[in-house]
Amino acid sequence: MAATEAVANSPYLHLFRRYLRQHGLPVTLQREVVADVVFSSTRHLSVEEIEAELKQRGERIGKATIYRTMEILVRSGLVEDHDFGDGFKRYEHLFGQQRGHQHLVCTNCRNVVEFRRPEIQRIQDEVARAHGFLPARHKLEVYGLCPDCRAAGVQLKHEGVACPALTF
């Protein structure tokens, strides 16, 4: 599928185009194709994964353009960036995302699983109310080993300084 054909069929690009125009930024096919990769994914993509997907589509777009486009997408509020502690950002679009979803992050394979538990939102609201705080958002990331890595025999690595007296 040609880039222009893929971009024309993306349901969310009109919001991105409107943001670009409202902020006096050029609407380019390269930006649209990068945005389409993110909008059509259900995963948390790194710049390298976006670049690989673009190459698979037959697009030649440099990393600098991808980084700049991702910065614009994050500023627009259409995409959120995450730092899961692996030295780079990952991106997810916010279309169809439920407010206050959480993440499980495998420390071995770096796989990310989203989940939502209403009781976490309830606890956040209760704690905020008790302290007179108006919450805007929260972030919960649970780090550990996914079932596949555990089945492969990967052991959880304990990092940092530990007190021998507290080791059971």
Q: Each residue of 125-166: pLDDT tens digit?
A: 899 999 999 987 777 778 889 999 999 998 887 765 555 555
Give the pLDDT score at 155. 87
Across the chain, which has 168 residues, the per-10-residue mean pLDDT values are 54 89 95 94 89 94 95 91 80 69 81 81 89 82 88 81 53
The domain made up of 1-95 has a fold known as Arc Repressor Mutant, subunit A (1.10.10)
Residue 1: the pLDDT is 46
DSSP 7-30: HHH-SSHHHHHHHHHHTT----HH
Contact 146, 106 (CB under 8 A): yes
Q: Where are the domains of the chain?
A: 1-95, 98-155
Which CATH number, 3.40.50.300, 3.90.1150.10, 3.40.1000.10, 3.30.1490.190, labels domain 98-155? 3.30.1490.190
At residue 164, the pLDDT reads 55
Three-state DSSP class for 122?
A: helix
Nearest 10 degrees: CA dihedral of 84, 86, 88, 90? -40
Q: Strand 141-144 to strand 102-106: parallel, antiparallel, or no bridges (unpaired)?
A: parallel
pTM (predicted TM-score): 0.66
